[in-house]
C-alpha cells in the first residue's frame, strides 16, 4: 500500500487522555482512534493487526477440533433469567426494544450456546463437542481506561466444550492448554498459566493465561524454576517463598533439580478457562443419555482469548521509546519500504513541515520517476509484492527524518531504504536493531522468505 | 471435513415458525439456528458461506480503493443528537449504562465515521477518501420474520465516501456502481439498479440494487430492453407502459433498437447508495479548505451491501424442492464426497433410521477400511484436498437415500460418489443436474480446477 494514500496518519504527540502505553502508541501510530472510553475504531493498520491475531487463534482452534460458529449479540432476557445472570452480573448491558422486549448484550455466551448445542445432543456418543466463535462482546465497565486492555466493547474468541464426564473435561482442558500456549508462542508471547477463582461463572477453579507486563491488572507469583504460577489474589504463598511445587518449604525431599522460589510480577490476562461443571445444563434442564441410559447434564468448559486485548498487550510488550515493534506474525505489513527522495523532494517536505501534508504528497507523485540507472521505488515495491511480501511503501515527499520516525513509530519488522546512494540495492534493517545491510532485492527476499 | 463430526445436522422437516424459503431451508440444512425472531446463530456451514460472501465484497471494495476500518457498535448519544437521529429514527436501539450513560447501537455509522474521517482531512487535496467496514448492525424492527432478509441483528458492508464536490461524488458513484455490479455478478446474481427515495438518511435520490425474487419486499418496474429500473413506490409509470428511457411513449424518435416496455416484479434489495449531500459535515460542523481557500463541507456518500441478507437472498434464488443450490463462489465446500457403504453399513443405518444416529456413525468408522483394489474414501478425500479443493466427506453409515437427500439439501455444487460399483473411479454430478459422469479423481480435479 502507498503510504500517501493510507487512511491513517501518525501524530506527533500522544493523546492527552490516554494513560497506558498501548493506547498512546496505537493512537499516535494510527492504528486506532478513540470514540469514547472503552470503544475504539480500528483504522486500516489496526484492522490488519486484529485480523492477523484472529487468524492465528482460528487456526489453532480448528487444529484442536473446534468448530466455528457465530452467535447473536442480542440475547433474550429469558435465557439470562434461567441462569441467574440477569440479576447477578453487574457488567451486563440491558436493552429494551420499542415494544418493551428486553435483551442482554452478550458478554459471554453460555446462555446461548447451551441450548444451541444441547438441542443437537442425544446421547454420550454425540459428545464431546467444542464450538467457538470470534466475535464482539460488551461489558458495562465502570471504568475503561487501559486502552485496548479493558474495553466496553471488545473482540474475543470464546470456545465452549461439552463433555459426558469431569474426566473428559480434564482431558480436553489439557488439549486446550497446549493449543493456547501455541497461540501465544506464535504471537511472540510467553504465557504463564495460573489458577484463580472462577469469578461470576463458576465456583470451581479457573485457569488464567497471563503475560508479564507492567500495564497488567493482576499480580501473579511464579516459580523461577518450574511452571508453577498462581494469581496472588488466591495464593497461600508470598514473594520469595519456596515454590510449593518444585521446592517445598518444610525440609521434604525436593524433586530432582527442584529449587524454585517465587517471584511477584504484574501481568495481563490474555486467555482463560472456566470449568463450568454442570451449572448450565441444569439451569436449562438440558441433558443427554449417559452410558447407563440415564439422563445426565453435560460438564462444560468455557475458553476465552481476548483478541483486541491481545493487540493491546502486544503493544505494551513490544515497544521502545520510538514506537512499536510488532512480532512478524501480527505485523500489518512485512516490509516498510522508504524512498528517500532528491534534494527537491526534501526541500518541498521541509517547506511543508508536516508528515501529513497533501502538497508534499503531490510533489512526491511528481518525483515518482527517478534517475535512470537506479532501481525505482515502484519497481522495488512491485518486486517485493511479487515475491509474496506485503509492503507499506513510503513514497511521500517528506524529510528522511520524518520517514524514519514514522517507520519506527508504526513498527513494521523490516525497514528497506532506497535512495540515490543505495543504487540498485536497498539498505535493510530490522526494527529495533542497528544492524544495517546493503543487499539486492532478491537477497532481501531470500532473507525473509527462507 | 468429516460429516460425522460436523456440528450441524439436517432436519427432516422445516421449522414451523418460519415462513420464507431461505429460513426454512437454511435451518433444515443446518446453516443457521434461530435464537429469536430476527437473530440467528450461524452454524459451521453457515459461517463458511457468510465468510465467502464477505470476502468477495472485501475484494471488490479494496479493488476500488476503499480502505477497511472497524467502528464501534456502541455509539455515544451526543453523536446521534448532533444529527437528529436520536429522536427521529424509530429503529434505533437505545441503551443505558448502570451509570446512566446513554448509547445508541449502530444501525448506520455516519455519526461515527464523519468525525473519524474529517479529523484527518485538512484541505481538498486530502479528498476523496472512502472507508468501509464489514460489521454487525442492529435495528429495532417491529416485525422480523423473513429469515435472514430482515434481521434485528445483521452483517453488513457499509462504505462512506467524502468528496470536495457533487461532481466528484457523481464520478465516484459510477465507480462504486460498477464494483457493486461485479460483486453481485461474482455471487451469481443479476442486480438491477433502481432509483428510490432516500429514506431517513437524505432527501436526495438514492440508488437500490435489487435482485428479482418472490420473497422480496419491494416492487420494481424494469425495462425488458435497456437498464431502466425504478422502485414502483416512486415510479411515474405502470406495468406495460413504454420504457421512458429507451421507448418514449409520445411518438418521439426512439433510440436505435429501443423498444422496451416495463415489467413489474417482486425484488429484494441487496445493496444501496445514498447521496448524503453535506448534511453530516454540517451537523458536526466539520469542514475542509476548498480550492478557493474557503471552509467547505464535504459531499458524502453511503454505500451498503447486506452480507447476511445476501445469504438469505441467495437461498431464495438458488433452491429447488430438494434443497439448496449454492453458486460455487459462496458454497461452503467445493465437493460433497459420499461414500456408499457395504450392505452391513446400510443395514446399520436402516436399523438406526436417522441421519444423526451416533451408533451408525460409530459403525461407519469401523467400516473405514474398505475392500482392497478399490479407492478408499479417505484416499479420495485426501487427494481432492491435496488438489486444493474443500471437501465435505460423508463417511456416515447411513443409507444411500439419506446421503443423497442430505447432499441435495445442503446444496454443495459437486457431488462425488464412491462405492463398490465405482471401483477406482468416482461418479460425479453437479447439484441440480442429472448428468452423471464416471471419472477418475484426477479427471474430476481437472474439471473443477480448469
The CATH homologous superfamily for domain A333-449 is Anticodon-binding domain (3.40.50.800)
Alpha helices, DSSP H, located in B153-207: 166-186
- Nearest residue of A to residue B115, measured between CA atoms: A35
Compare all CA atoms of chain A with the CA of B45 and give the residue at the minimum distance: A69
Q: What is the pLDDT of residues A321-357, one digit of tens each?
A: 999 999 999 999 999 999 997 544 444 444 344 444 4
For residue A441, what is the enclosing H or E element? helix A441-449
Closest CB to B76 among A7, A36, A140: A36
Instruction: Provide the chain B residues 312-371 that lie in CB contact (below 8 A) with chain A.
Output: 356, 358-359, 361-362
Q: Smallest Cβ distance to A153: which of B72, B93, B129?
A: B72
Contacts of A43 in chain B (CB under 8 A): 69
Q: Does an H or E element contain A408, and which?
A: helix A400-410
Instruction: From A306, A356, A351, select the one nearest A180 (Cα to Cα).
Output: A306
Contacts B126 to A, Cβ<8 Å? 358
Q: What is the pLDDT of residue A196?
A: 65
Between chain A and chain B, the number of residue pairs with CB atoms below 8 A apart is 137
Stated as kind and residue range, the H or E segment containing B51 is: helix B44-63
Q: Is A253 on the interface with B (CB under 8 A)?
A: no
Return the number of other C-beta atoms located less than 10 Å from residue A10's C-beta: 18
Chain A touched by B201 (CB under 8 Å): no
The partner residues of B76 in beta bridges, in order of sequence, read: B103
Query: Of B306, B318, B342, B364, which Cα lies nearest the Cα of B155?
Result: B306
* Closest CA in chain B for residue A77: B36
The answer to whether the CB atoms of A95 and B93 lie below 8 A apart is yes
Could B41 and A112 be called an inter-chain contact, meaning their C-beta atoms sit closer than 8 Å? yes
Mutation site for A-interface testing, chosen from B70, B156, B360 by largest number of A Cβ within 10 Å: B70
**CA torsion, points A315, A317, A318, A321, in degrees to nearest 10?**
90
B116 touches chain A (CB under 8 A): yes
| Cα B4 to Cα A422: distance, rounded to the nearest angstrom | 60
The pLDDT, as a whole number, for residue B217 is: 84
Residues 96-115 of B with CB under 8 A from A: 97-99, 105, 112
Do B37 and B145 touch, CB atoms closer than 8 A?
yes
Chain B interface includes A122 (CB < 8 A): yes
Q: Calculate ∠ Cα B225-B230-B232, nearest 5°.
A: 120
Question: Could you give the 3-state DSSP secondary structure of residue B35?
Answer: strand
Question: Which residue is listed with cell 434442564?
Answer: A285
Closest CA of chain A from B342, distance in Å: 23
Which residues in chain B (134-163) have CB-CB distances under 8 A to chain A? 136, 138, 140, 142, 152-153
Asked if A95 has any chain B CB less than 8 Å from its own CB, the reply is: yes
Distance CA B349, CA B361 (A): 9
**Phi-psi map region of B190: left, alpha, beta (phi>0 left; psi -120 to 50 alpha):** beta
3-state secondary structure of B269: strand
| pLDDT of chain A, 450 residues: tens digit per residue | 999 999 988 998 888 888 899 999 999 999 999 999 999 999 999 999 999 999 999 999 999 999 999 999 999 999 999 999 999 999 999 999 999 999 999 999 999 999 999 999 999 999 999 999 999 999 999 988 789 998 999 999 999 999 999 999 999 999 999 999 999 999 999 899 987 654 544 456 788 999 988 778 889 999 988 888 998 888 888 999 998 888 765 555 555 555 789 999 999 999 999 999 999 999 999 999 999 999 999 999 999 999 999 999 999 999 999 999 999 999 999 999 999 975 444 444 443 444 444 444 443 444 444 444 457 889 999 999 999 999 999 999 899 999 999 999 999 999 999 999 998 899 999 999 999 999 999 999 999 987
User: Regarding the domain with residue range A12-320, which homologous superfamily does it belong to in the CATH classification?
Assistant: Bira Bifunctional Protein; Domain 2 (3.30.930.10)
| Mutation site for B-interface testing, chosen from A33, A53, A100, A162 by largest number of B Cβ within 10 Å | A33
From the CA of A212, how many Å to the nearest CA of chain B? 28
Among candidates A118, A144, A115, A143, which has minimal Cα distance to A129? A118
Q: Is A26 on the interface with B (CB under 8 A)?
A: no
Tell me how close the Cα of B43 comes to any Cα of chain A, in angstroms.
5
Residues 264-303 of B with CB under 8 A from A: none
B112 closest CB neighbour out of A41, A98, A105: A41
Ordered by start, the domain boundaries in chain B are: 3-320, 333-449
Cβ pair B356:A122 closer than 8 A: yes
Closest residue, chain B, to A358 (C-alpha):
B125
Assess B41–A contact: CB distance below 8 Å, yes or no: yes
Q: Does A54 touch chain B (CB under 8 A)?
A: no
A69·B47 Cβ contact <8 A: yes
Query: Residue A153 pairs with which residues in a beta bridge?
Result: A138
Please give the residue of chain A at the shortest CA–CA distance from B362. Answer: A125
Q: What is the DSSP letter of B382?
A: H
Output the pLDDT for position A257: 53
pLDDT, residue A366, reads: 40
Q: Say if the Cβ atoms of A122 and B43 lie within 8 Å.
A: no
Query: How large is the greatest C-alpha to C-alpha distance in chain A, in angstroms?
Result: 85
Query: Across the beta sheet with A94-96, what order do the strands follow?
Result: A74-76, A102-105, A94-96, B94-96, B102-105, B74-76
> Are residues A41 and B72, on separate chains, in Cβ contact within 8 Å?
yes
Would an 8 Å CB–CB cutoff place A69 in contact with chain B? yes
Cα angle value A102/B19/A286 (rounded, 5°): 55
* B253 interfacial to chain A (CB closer than 8 Å): no
Write the CA distances from A342 to A267, A346, A377, integer angstroms.
48, 6, 13
Q: For residue A43, give Cα distances in angstroms to A23, A35, B59.
A: 13, 12, 18
Interface check for A120 against chain B (CB to CB < 8 A): the answer is: yes
Q: Which residues touch B260 (CB under 8 Å, ≥6 apart)?
A: B223, B224, B225, B226, B228, B242, B243, B245, B246, B247
- Residue that is written with C-alpha cell 485426501 in the block: B382
* Residue B65 to residue A78: CA distance in whole angstroms: 45
- CB contact set of B41 (below 8 Å; sequence gap of 6+): A69, A70, A71, A72, A112, A116, B32, B33, B34, B35
Q: Which chain B residues contact residue A61 at CB under 8 A? A: none
Provide the sign of the torsion angle of the four alpha carbons B18, B21, B25, B26, taken in this order. Answer: negative
Contact in structure between B394 and B314 (CB atoms under 8 Å): no
What pLDDT was estimated at residue B259?
A: 77
User: What is the tens place of the pLDDT at every residue in A220-236?
Assistant: 999 988 888 998 888 88
pLDDT at A344: 41
Given CB atoms, is B404 within the 8 Å cutoff of chain A? Answer: no
Q: Which residues in chain A touch residue B70, judged by CB atoms under 8 angstroms apart?
A: 41-42, 46-47, 50
Give the contacts of B208 (CB within 8 A, at least 6 positions apart).
B193, B194, B195, B196, B218, B231, B269, B271, B272
Per the CB < 8 Å rule, is B47 touching A39? no
Q: Please tell me the predicted confidence (pLDDT) of residue B246.
A: 85
The grid coordinates of residue B16 equal 414451523
Residue A33, chain B, CB below 8 Å: the answer is yes
Q: Provide the grid cell at A19.
A: 494513560
Mutate to test the interface with B, among A98, A151, A365, A385 (most CBs of B within 10 A): A98
Output the nine-digit C-alpha cell for B416: 462425488
Distance CA A216, CA A209 (A): 12
Q: Which residues of B touch A94 (CB under 8 A)?
A: 95
φ, ψ for residue A179, nearest 5 deg: -60, -40
Residue with grid cell 528497506, as numbered in its chain: A416
With CB atoms and an 8 Å threshold, state whether A75 touches B35.
yes
Q: Which of B73, B98, B129 sits opposite A140 (nearest CB)?
A: B98
User: From CA A276, how far away is CA A295, in angstroms rounded?
Assistant: 19
Which CATH number does the domain B3-320 belong to among 3.40.30.10, 3.30.450.20, 3.30.930.10, 3.40.50.300?
A: 3.30.930.10
Q: Give average pLDDT by consecutive 10-residue segment, chain B, 450 residues.
A: 91 89 96 96 98 98 97 98 97 96 97 97 96 98 88 97 97 95 94 71 74 86 89 88 77 60 92 95 98 98 97 96 97 97 48 41 42 71 96 95 97 96 94 96 91
What SS3 class is residue A28? helix
Inform me whether the C-beta atom of residue B80 falls under 8 Å from chain A C-beta atoms.
no
- Chain B residue at shortest CA distance from A34: B116
Interface with chain A: mutation pick from B67, B82, B118, highest number of A CBs within 10 Å: B67
The continuous run of DSSP H or E covering B21 comes out as helix B21-28
Nearest chain A Cα distance for residue B371, angstroms: 27
- Minimal Cβ distance to A362: which of B5, B47, B125: B125
Amino acid at each position: 500500500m502507498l503510504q500517501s494514500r493510507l487512511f491513517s496518519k501518525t501524530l506527533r504527540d500522544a493523546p492527552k487522555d490516554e494513560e497506558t502505553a498501548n493506547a498512546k502508541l496505537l493512537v499516535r501510530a494510527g492504528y486506532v482512534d478513540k470514540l469514547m472510553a472503552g470503544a475504539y475504531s480500528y483504522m486500516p493498520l489496526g484492522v490488519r493487526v486484529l485480523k492477523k491475531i484472529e487468524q492465528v487463534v482460528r487456526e489453532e482452534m480448528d487444529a484442536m477440533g473446534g468448530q466455528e460458529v457465530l452467535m447473536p449479540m442480542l440475547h433474550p432476557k429469558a435465557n439470562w433469567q434461567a441462569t441467574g445472570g440477569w440479576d447477578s452480573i453487574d457488567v451486563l448491558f440491558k436493552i429494551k426494544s420499542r415494544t418493551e422486549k428486553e435483551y442482554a448484550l452478550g458478554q459471554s455466551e453460555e446462555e446461548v450456546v447451551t441450548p444451541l448445542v444441547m438441542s443437537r445432543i442425544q446421547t454420550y456418543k454425540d459428545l464431546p463437542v467444542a464450538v467457538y466463535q470470534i466475535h464482539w462482546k460488551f461489558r458495562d465497565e465502570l471504568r475503561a481506561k487501559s486502552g485496548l486492555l479493558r474495553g466496553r466493547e471488545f473482540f474475543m474468541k470464546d470456545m465452549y466444550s461439552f463433555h459426558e464426564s469431569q474426566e473428559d473435561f480434564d482431558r480436553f482442558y489439557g488439549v486446550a492448554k497446549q493449543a493456547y500456549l501455541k497461540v501465544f508462542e506464535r504471537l511472540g508471547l510467553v504465557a504463564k498459566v495460573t489458577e484463580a477463582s472462577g469469578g461470576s461463572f463458576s465456583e470451581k477453579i479457573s485457569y488464567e493465561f497471563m503475560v508479564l507486563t507492567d500495564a497488567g491488572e493482576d499480580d501473579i507469583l511464579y516459580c523461577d524454576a518450574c511452571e508453577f504460577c498462581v494469581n496472588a489474589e488466591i495464593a497461600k504463598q508470598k514473594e520469595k517463598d519456596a515454590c510449593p511445587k518444585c521446592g517445598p518449604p518444610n525440609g521434604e525431599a525436593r524433586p530432582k533439580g527442584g529449587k524454585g522460589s517465587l517471584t511477584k510480577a504484574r501481568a495481563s490476562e490474555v486467555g482463560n478457562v472456566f470449568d463450568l461443571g454442570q451449572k448450565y445444563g441444569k439451569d436449562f434442564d438440558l441433558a443427554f443419555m449417559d452410558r447407563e441410559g440415564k439422563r445426565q447434564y453435560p460438564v462444560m468448559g468455557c475458553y476465552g482469548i481476548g483478541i483486541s486485548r491481545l493487540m493491546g498487550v502486544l503493544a505494551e510488550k513490544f515497544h521502545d521509546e520510538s514506537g512499536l515493534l510488532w512480532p512478524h506474525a501480527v505485523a500489518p505489513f512485512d516490509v516498510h519500504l522508504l524512498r528517500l527522495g532528491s534534494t527537491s523532494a526534501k526541500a518541498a517536505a521541509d517547506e511543508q513541515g508536516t508528515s501529513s501534508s497533501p502538497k508534499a504528497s503531490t510533489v512526491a507523485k511528481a518525483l515518482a520517476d527517478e534517475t535512470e540507472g537506479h532501481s525505482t521505488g515502484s519497481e522495488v515495491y512491485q518486486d517485493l509484492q511479487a515475491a509474496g511480501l506485503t509492503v507499506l511503501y513510503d513514497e511521500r515527499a517528506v524529510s528522511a527524518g520524518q520517514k524514519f520516525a514514522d517507520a519506527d513509530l508504526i513498527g513494521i519488522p523490516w525497514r528497506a531504504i532506497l535512495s540515490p546512494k543505495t543504487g540498485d540495492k536497498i539498505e535493510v534493517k530490522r526494527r529495533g536493531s542497528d544492524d544495517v545491510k546493503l543487499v539486492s532485492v532478491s537477497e532481501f527476499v531470500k532473507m525473509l522468505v527462507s
